[in-house]
Structure 1
Amino acid sequence: MATYRMFRLLVGLAAVGLSALTGCAAQAGAGAAPHPAPVGEGKSIRATRVAHVTDVHEATGMTLLEGPVLDEDGTLYVVDVTAPPGEPKVISVDVATGEHEGVYTDRTGAYTSAQVGPRDGRLYLTDYVTGSIVTVALDGSDPRTFFSGEVDGSRMNPDDIAFDDEGNLYISDLRGMEPGKAEGRIVRIDRAGTKATVLADGLAHPNGIVFDPEQHGLWISELAENTVSYLLLDADRTAVTSRHEAIHVDGGLARTDSIAVDADGNLYQALHGRPAMAVHDRYGKRLATVEVPAENAEGLESATNVAITPGGRTAYMTVSGPDGGYVYRFTAPGKGIRQSNGG
């Protein structure tokens, strides 16, 4: 999701309960000719603008789109992490026209990701500030708290979600976001929302989390280390049997944000601090870098996550910065599956 600065912002946002009105205008965009990626970054994949979804909020001084996920009808849903109380926090986007509308808001939540549950088709949202998992219908109605409370004596700061096929949730917990601390965790919550267990701890701000296509293990990205690690799970996916650092992402000023996996096992690593996404194969080879056109990049600071059309290669990337929050489209190297659709 982001940085210590944003952590403090979200805590402050929850405390003061700011309320304001905002206007969002859909905007279609055209890209420019692709430019070569720097040496070592693989081929350059050109992304084109689909929609201008949000502007910077006066109350928070930021906007940050996250959690892109497509429903069965092809509607894209995104969350605005830093939306003040009362402004749209979950937004639907028509990827054909770029038109969008708010579908859910409340006065307390700061939502950092969205997923569609495999068993009930509802949206599942991670509330970074309260430590809860909230679920709503796709139209934003019927909000429910799926999980809340402490896990092993500490409240979570949940960031991203991965579902297994049975509907159990695996959460990256950014607990201990202060610089120099490695107190992050990977938490498993059973599909009933009644039992939460810690699968891994001592992590340096774990952000992205996703299963490999076979669901044998989890790929996780650690924001403070610019690394992607692999956690092999046991047969019932309730314990980690081995853990190793798999990829170091040479991001410079940028850091590893959310992560997705396609049908070929390729990893899509979003970059916080650069409007781009690094694509690696499952053995760590850098295949490509997804970038917005140079003339659009000014005023954009981060690409946070991606949704690849299930069974297709059309991908939608959330990009944000002082210029606003946007959705960009590109052609992915591999076909989309559940693990490359939301998180």
Structure 2
Amino acid sequence: MHKKSKNLEDWLRADQLPVSEKDLPTQIAEPWFCVSEKQLQLEGLCFDREGNLYFVEVFGGTIFKLVLPDKKLIKIAELSGENPAAIKIHRDGRLFVACLGNFKDSGFVIALSPDGKEQSIIVGKEQHFVIDDLVFDQKGGFYFTDFKGYSCEPAGGVYYVSPDYQQITKVMGNLAVPNGVALAPEQNALWVTEMSNNRLHYWALEEDGVTIPAFGSSVPYHFTGLEGPDSCCIDDEGNLYVAMYMQGRVLVFNSSGYPVHQVLLPERLNHQMLRSTHPMLIPETSELLICSNDGEGEGGSWIYKAQALGKAHKSYQFL
């Protein structure tokens, strides 16, 4: 594993990338940390105020903490059978974990203390969501994706939870498995990836944070290939980083929605480590981390590092 080709063109062959994307400026990520030699569905990279990294393993339900700079891996909680898919850190330091539940109607958001011992439900199972990702706004409320639907039955949506957690408002519906969500640095727009319809959405927001103005929604990009776009993150210049599931790469878009860059995982040349799920920037740097695993292969589960176009944007977790 982790053998590099001598020629970048090997990664850019027509059979490895869509023709429309193979001419994008490209870099190859480097292995950064081996989480496990086994297949773990890693997701939800998020840093705390001390610079430690939290993430989840979806199907096993484990919440991990990677203590930095020593890279000591700790299991802080286990949500067995609940399929956690994302972590974001509230300004009070609690971990807000989005859970998919049974993938039909029992997803929820749970808040954990940093050590995982104290837990409280923020959005309950009785709401019948399938919650995949979330992002806080500057008020302390948050947006989440309802990971439902099919390409021809768009049953999913994006919702906003008020800062007191008492009100849930639909921002947009009729989506086919909405996945990642990112808030623009100016807090005036949302980016959302729609996995089953292979689309990137951009929605302008009015001051209330939930109303999309007339002509304020667009689809700036249509992806290609099976599986589609996964989680995403944003930098301080408004560049959006979208993990492409089962493609072993991250596509980068500027604030206008144009694809401007891509990051490839080294093993994708041999059709390995394709389950790239989530990119995240290391706070106060322009270093990008990407998590992936090798599925039924023997490559295990890794976090990779690459160079981002901008520096980390702080407001996504109130650092």
Q: TM-score, normalised by structure 2?
A: 0.86
In the alignment, the residues of structure 2 paired with residue 49 and residue 339 of structure 1 have an alpha-carbon distance, to the nearest angstrom, of 27
RMSD of Structure 2 on Structure 1 (CA): 2.4
| 1:51 and 1:99 in contact (8 A); partners too | no
Q: How far is the alpha carbon of 1:227 from its aligned partner?
A: 1.1
**1:244 aligns to what?**
218
Gaps of 5+ in 2: 13-18
**1:219 aligns to what?**
191
In the alignment, the residues of structure 1 paired with residue 270 and residue 131 of structure 2 have an alpha-carbon distance, to the nearest angstrom, of 29
In the alignment, the residues of structure 2 paired with residue 33 and residue 121 of structure 1 have an alpha-carbon distance, to the nearest angstrom, of 45
- Aligned partner letter, 2:59: T
1:284 aligns with 2:257: yes
1:327 aligns with 2:303: yes
1:204 aligns with 2:180: no
Q: How far is the alpha carbon of 1:97 from its aligned partner?
A: 4.3
Q: How far is the alpha carbon of 1:302 from its aligned partner?
A: 1.6
1:66 aligns with 2:39: no
Q: 2:152 aligns with which of 173, 177, 180?
A: 180
Aligned residues: 300
- Aligned partner letter, 1:214: E
**1:170 aligns to what?**
143
Q: How far is the alpha carbon of 1:297 from its aligned partner?
A: 5.8
| 2:151 and 2:197 in contact (8 A); partners too | no
**2:232 aligns to what?**
259
In the alignment, the residues of structure 1 paired with residue 165 and residue 37 of structure 2 have an alpha-carbon distance, to the nearest angstrom, of 35
Identity among equivalent pairs (%): 22
Instruction: Using the TM superposition, name which of 34-43 and 324-333 deviates more.
Output: 34-43
In the alignment, the residues of structure 1 paired with residue 85 and residue 8 of structure 2 have an alpha-carbon distance, to the nearest angstrom, of 31
1:144 aligns with 2:120: yes
1:78 aligns with 2:80: no
**1:3 aligns to what?**
none
In the alignment, the residues of structure 1 paired with residue 112 and residue 6 of structure 2 have an alpha-carbon distance, to the nearest angstrom, of 40
Q: How far is the alpha carbon of 1:219 from its aligned partner?
A: 0.6
In the alignment, the residues of structure 2 paired with residue 317 and residue 146 of structure 1 have an alpha-carbon distance, to the nearest angstrom, of 28
**1:273 aligns to what?**
246
Deviation per residue, 1:253-288 (Å, 9 max, x gap): 351111111111111011011111001112232221
Q: How far is the alpha carbon of 1:338 from its aligned partner?
A: 3.4
| 2:2 and 2:266 in contact (8 A); partners too | no
**2:32 aligns to what?**
50
**1:11 aligns to what?**
none
- Aligned partner letter, 1:327: I
In the alignment, the residues of structure 2 paired with residue 65 and residue 294 of structure 1 have an alpha-carbon distance, to the nearest angstrom, of 17
Deviation per residue, 1:115-169 (Å, 9 max, x gap): 0112x11111011113210111122221111221455xxx100111011011101
In the alignment, the residues of structure 2 paired with residue 95 and residue 292 of structure 1 have an alpha-carbon distance, to the nearest angstrom, of 23
Deviation per residue, 1:74-100 (Å, 9 max, x gap): 11111000116xxxx111124544431
Distance 1:269 1:109, change over 3 A: same
In the alignment, the residues of structure 2 paired with residue 101 and residue 261 of structure 1 have an alpha-carbon distance, to the nearest angstrom, of 27
Match of 2:132, SS? strand
1:314 aligns with 2:287: yes
Q: How far is the alpha carbon of 1:179 from its aligned partner?
A: 5.3
**1:14 aligns to what?**
none
Match of 1:240, SS? coil
- Aligned partner letter, 1:278: L
Instruction: Using the TM superposition, name which of 99-108 and 122-131 deviates more.
Output: 99-108
Gaps of 5+ in 1: 1-27, 57-61
- Aligned partner letter, 2:221: I
Q: TM-score, normalised by structure 1?
A: 0.80
**1:15 aligns to what?**
none
**1:231 aligns to what?**
203
Distance 1:340 1:269, change over 3 A: farther
